[in-house]
Amino acid sequence: MKRTLQASAVALSLLAGCAAVPKPSMCFAEAGPNARSFPTPDTWFALLLHGYDKDTGANPRPSVDCAGAPVWWQDPAADECLEAGPDSQALPPAEKLSEEDLVLETLQAGQRLVWVQTRRFTNGEALGPVALVESTEQGFRVEALGSLRAMAKHTKLRLEKVKGTPILVAEGDACTSGDEEVCRRHARIMPLRTNRFFSESVSNASRACLGAAWFPLSREMTFELPNGLRRKFELTSTLTFAEEGISVQEQVQVSDSDPAQPDVAPRLYRRAQDTRALELANNALVGNKASLWSRMVEQQVRIGARAMPEAPIWAMPAKKAPTDAAAPETASKAQAPATAGASSPPAKAAAKKPAGSTATSSGP
């Protein structure tokens, strides 16, 4: 009996010792009372970005998060999924980070979602480390971490829960620049597994890819038909989260117009609506069908319609012209092959990037 009591006492002491072990964190930064109460943007940049220098404010390149993982993103390509990810080009990274590159969302007392935008894209998106951060008596502790690519303007972050799994939801706007600003809202969702936010694609029950976990809540696209008419698609959709799953409601309106008769109002061609269900099953984001938008767009491609290119939200900067000092050197290099004659081997063609590839890092 005495041995039993002793064994029970030892077991209880071990359990008490385990309970006293601090919760492991991905990253930690010490901060005094004033810094914890009034953190500056530099506080978050230094917490999430490895190698960030508060004195210079320089944007580290290539970007690496505080746990040592590259800040990187890959949407499904056209040959991998029924619907590819958004089409865009990465802009040159900014030299320095500013308050405009920071998104903060308070979830509850002492707990925040923090997103640092280290690189932007022509379609209005930005890429950077995102983290779930808790305040402690010693400083700031990163509980979960990942790379997020989402619309950079008017961004709102939140956590939903589906089947016990937290889901990061990032909603933001893509706004046109011009006389009249038009903003269209988009959403990204990322399941939190252990302590990482995962950029998963939506797949069917057979694990065939249906598309990115990227949901335009408002979208337009115009096609040029073989007969010369223009067919405009307008989408509105909503996301609803519940414990059992995610519901995506889509409504699409289609209208035709004749560019040869600009004074004639567009004619309504079709309206359609549908609801699809998403669930978390076996560490995957599973959908019961492809999006209504992708199915309707596929029909237009089959009849020979051509999608008209969309104007970029942020244009690529113009390439810098060579300076006068570099001109003589460039000219001499251009004349060099002429002196070599036929003895010089022909130059090999540069390897082309595969069509549809959307892998992007936050490097130079």
317 falls in which pLDDT band (50, 70, 90)? confident
What percent of the chain is predicted at pLDDT more than 70? Answer: 81
Q: In which residue are the tokens 């903060």 written?
A: 104
Supply the DSSP symbol for 38: S
Per residue in 107-122, pLDDT (tens digit) is 999 999 999 999 999 9
- What number is the average pLDDT over the span 175-191? 89
- What number is the average pLDDT over the span 137-159? 96
Residue 363 reports pLDDT greater than 70? no
Specify the higher pLDDT residue, 363 or 236: 236
Structure tokens at 261: 């008769």
Per residue in 214-227, pLDDT (tens digit) is 999 999 999 999 99
Residue 207 reports pLDDT greater than 80? yes
Q: What's the pLDDT at 26?
A: 85
- What number is the average pLDDT over the span 263-268? 96
- What number is the average pLDDT over the span 186-205? 95
Record the pTM.
Answer: 0.80
- What number is the average pLDDT over the span 29-45? 93
Contact criterion met (CB below 8 Å) for 28 and 34 = no
Q: What's the pLDDT at 131?
A: 98
First to last CA, the chain: 70
Q: Which of 65-74, 202-211, 324-333 has the lowest mean pLDDT?
A: 324-333
Pairing of strands 201-203, 285-287: parallel
Measured in whole angstroms, the distance separating CA 303 from the mean position of its chain's CA atoms is 32
Q: What's the pLDDT at 154?
A: 95
What percent of the chain is predicted at pLDDT more than 90? Answer: 70
Structure tokens at 189: 């969702």
Residue 70 reports pLDDT greater than 50? yes
Q: What's the pLDDT at 15?
A: 42
211 falls in which pLDDT band (50, 70, 90)? very high
Q: What's the pLDDT at 204?
A: 94
Q: Indicate the domain borders of the chain.
A: 22-311
Q: What's the pLDDT at 140?
A: 97
- What number is the average pLDDT over the span 231-259? 97
Percent helix, percent strand, percent coil in the chain, to nearest 5:
15, 45, 40
Dihedral angle sign, alpha carbons of residues 149, 85, 144, 247: positive
Q: What's the pLDDT at 324?
A: 54
Q: What's the pLDDT at 252?
A: 97
Q: Quick one: which H or E segment has residue 102?
A: strand 102-108
Q: What's the pLDDT at 356?
A: 45
Q: What is the mean pLDDT of the chain?
A: 85
3-state secondary structure of 36: helix
